[in-house]
Structure 1
Amino acid sequence: MQKIRTALLSYGMSGKVFHAPFLSVHPGFELLGSWERSHRNIHSDYPETKSYASPEALLDDNPDLVVVNTPVATHYEYAKRMLQAGKHVLVEKSFTATVAEAKELQKIARDKGLKLAVFHNRRWDSDFMTVKDVIAKDMLGDIVEAEFHFDRYNPTLSPKMHKETVNSGSGVLKDLGSHLIDQALFLFGMPEAVFADIRVTRAQSVVDDWFDLSLYYPRLRVRLKAGFFVREMVPSFVVHGKNGSFLKPRGDVQEEDLKLGKKVTAKDWGTEPRSREGLLHTEFDGKIIREFLPTLHGNYFYFFDALYGSLTEDKPEPVTAQEGINVMAVIEAAIKSSQSRKVVAVEN
């Protein structure tokens, strides 16, 4: 089996929780190590890996794939640098800070014949996969409206200063918002226009921490919301069709389990507790149904498996650069909309 030699540009939460656990168990990847600026942690977790003192030292080991999982404002700089060095690149969300940056990276990758993927891993959350399955099986009929939430109760500022200082990549819209937007576009395609309200709600915060976006489609409206003052959670996925409704709480356990160090090879990996099942109330095959629906298993391993297929068999990336650009286009339209308090067309 061909091995894809892979290096990370950071071993903070992203590298430790979302990337290394999957790269280390997938038989097609060889995790070389990570650039670590201050602490040297990766070697203790993965003894066969290296802690690199600089990107140059990382490149000296000749990786095939580099994961750009640094702060959003630096994604363009590092991804461009790695592509120009002839490396395939996986970029964390948000893809970049602007559409222009994303398009330039896409062009460089195409010109050099390199793979460029975006890590929108939430497509492989158990809750979202179940929503997708309900829609794909036409259980609700023609979809009229959908509402997705990524809410938390966390009034304090993050200790990660790059998230709480004004820079081109900070704010909840480019953080949690990019997940919700990607999920909406994956299900429904590009909207025609956006109306957005983006706010600051926490004391001492200088970056956006609340948003309410409405995506306009010809026969559908999709509302996306996130905030840090939601102590009592509402369903994170609400989909209404002409035949019925599906309400699903956020239930994916992967992030929680990864933080606890649970092995991704566990037999029950990605299995939600039954208490988080979604409620389906619809008319299907001539029968009225109102029941809790078993949740599909989530697994971010599917992303890395598809990425391996892309690198070795020239299949499409699991999340393409164009899909990352589309998310950035909606974000830019949302920012313009909030500033002008007007509906703004989304540029394709």
Structure 2
Amino acid sequence: MKIINTALLSYGMSGKVFHAPFINLHEGFHLLGAWERSKKLIQDAYPGTRSYASLDELLAYDAVELVVVNTPTYTHYEYTKRALEAGKHVVVEKAFTSTVAEAEELKMLAEKQGKKLAVYQNRRWDSDFLTVKKVIESGKLGDIKEMEIHFDRYNLDLSYKTHKEEPNSGSGIVKDLGPHAIDQALHLFGMPQAVFADIRTIRPVSVVDDCFDILLYYPTLHVRIKATLIAKEPVPAYIIHGTNGSFLKSRADIQEGILLQGAKPGSADWGTEPESEQGTLNYLANGETIREKVQSEQGNYFEFYKGVYTALAEDKPMPVTADDGIRVMQIIEAAFKSQAEKRVIEL
């Protein structure tokens, strides 16, 4: 089996929770280490790894084949560009970049260098989203006409991650939670024809956007994407109405929560939601109304890195491509333009 030597550009929350456990689990990856600026923790968690003192040191190490850019959004363009120029494959966290132009430049650079470039969109493998996708594909809802995707939280205080709360090219909720929900919508339905957005700052302590409502217009479908940090009582994360029925589903994926508690992936019941979080399906069958609970699919972020391994070992497309990332950035730029100009933006 081909072994792909991999290094992280950070071993903070995202490195500990979303990347290292799954890279370590896959027998085709060898986790070499991480760039650690102050605390040196990766060697305690993964004996035999290395703590790099600088990005230059990490990129100069010829053994590193894949670099995971899991640093603040405003650094993504610079660090991804440097990694590609150093001859490395790259997985870059969402938001892909700060602008569409940066995203397009990185795609072209990867192609020029003959390297693979992926955007980390783990929420495609959330249990709730996989359940929604299965219900839509079943055809029981008929033609989908309306869908809402909510990524709501309740937090009146500023995050300790200052790069998310202080004005910079990657801060704010649109570029933090927005890429998750936007990517899910595009994964289901492709690119819309137009975008309208209402982007606001609503918490008294906040100086960046912390609430948005984005409407994607398709020829026969409207998708509403909403996120806020003042949702004390959550509504269903997914509300879908079709010509033959409706489906409501909570945001109930357990993976992030148990990973934060130190759980390691790989068990048979990994990503299994509580039965109490099953979605409600109400549809017509042979002229009669059927209202039933839908067993949730199992979530598994490991599928992303399985896809990355296949892409690198067998020269296949990445599981989430640079083009996917560019399309998300196009929606984000259109949303900010819509907010600024108070109008629908044609794509």
Structure 2 length-normalised TM: 0.98
CA distance in 2, matches of 1:100, 1:252: 33
Residue 300 of structure 1 aligns with which residue? Answer: 301
Amino acid at match of 1:38: S
CA distance in 1, matches of 2:241, 2:69: 37
Q: SS where residue 173 of structure 1 aligns?
A: helix
1:225, distance to aligned residue in structure 2 (A): 0.4
Residue 53 of structure 2 aligns with which residue? Answer: 53
Q: SS where residue 297 of structure 1 aligns?
A: coil
CA distance in 2, matches of 1:284, 1:28: 46
Amino acid at match of 2:93: E
CA distance in 2, matches of 1:285, 1:160: 53
Q: Equivalent residues in 2 for 1:117-266 (5 A)?
A: 117-266=118-267
Once the two structures are superposed, what CA deviation does each residue of 1:173-213 show, in whole Å capped at 9, x if it has no partner? 00101100000000010011111000001122110000001
CA distance in 2, matches of 1:268, 1:154: 30
Say how many residue pairs are matched. Answer: 346
Amino acid at match of 1:307: V
Amino acid at match of 2:280: L
1:286, distance to aligned residue in structure 2 (A): 5.5
Residue 79 of structure 2 aligns with which residue? Answer: 78
Residue 29 of structure 2 aligns with which residue? Answer: 29
Residue 337 of structure 2 aligns with which residue? Answer: 336
CA distance in 2, matches of 1:111, 1:208: 36
Once the two structures are superposed, what CA deviation does each residue of 1:109-139 show, in whole Å capped at 9, x if it has no partner? 0111110000011000000000001111111
Once the two structures are superposed, what CA deviation does each residue of 1:278-336 show, in whole Å capped at 9, x if it has no partner? 00001246653201100000000001001100001111100000000000000000000
1:59, distance to aligned residue in structure 2 (A): 2.2
Instruction: Determine if contact 2:60/2:86 at 8 Å carries over to the other structure.
Output: no
- Structure 1 residues 285 and 39: alpha-carbon distance in aligned structure 2, compared to 1, 3 A threshold: farther
Amino acid at match of 2:276: S
Amino acid at match of 1:71: P
Runs of 4+ in 1 over 3 A off after TM superposition: 284-287
Once the two structures are superposed, what CA deviation does each residue of 1:148-183 show, in whole Å capped at 9, x if it has no partner? 000011010011111111000000000101100000
Residue 268 of structure 2 aligns with which residue? Answer: 267
Instruction: Determine if contact 2:4/2:28 at 8 Å carries over to the other structure.
Output: yes
Residue 319 of structure 2 aligns with which residue? Answer: 318
Amino acid at match of 1:135: I
Amino acid at match of 2:234: M
Residue 92 of structure 1 aligns with which residue? Answer: 93
CA distance in 2, matches of 1:61, 1:16: 22
CA distance in 1, matches of 2:262, 2:334: 39
CA distance in 2, matches of 1:296, 1:227: 26
Q: SS where residue 306 of structure 2 aligns?
A: helix
Instruction: Determine if contact 2:185/2:223 at 8 Å carries over to the other structure.
Output: yes
Q: SS where residue 214 of structure 2 aligns?
A: strand
1:55, distance to aligned residue in structure 2 (A): 1.2
Residue 8 of structure 2 aligns with which residue? Answer: 8
Instruction: Determine if contact 2:141/2:246 at 8 Å carries over to the other structure.
Output: yes
Q: Please provide the CA RMSD for this pair.
A: 0.9
1:146, distance to aligned residue in structure 2 (A): 0.1
Q: SS where residue 59 of structure 1 aligns?
A: helix
1:60, distance to aligned residue in structure 2 (A): 3.3
Structure 1 length-normalised TM: 0.98
For structure 2, list consecutive stretches of 5 or more residues without a partner in the other structure: none
Q: SS where residue 203 of structure 2 aligns?
A: coil
Residue 280 of structure 2 aligns with which residue? Answer: 279
CA distance in 1, matches of 2:10, 2:322: 21
With 241-250 and 58-67 compared, the bigger mean Cα shift is at 58-67
Q: SS where residue 310 of structure 1 aligns?
A: helix
Identity %: 60
Q: SS where residue 146 of structure 1 aligns?
A: strand
Amino acid at match of 1:199: R
Amino acid at match of 2:240: V
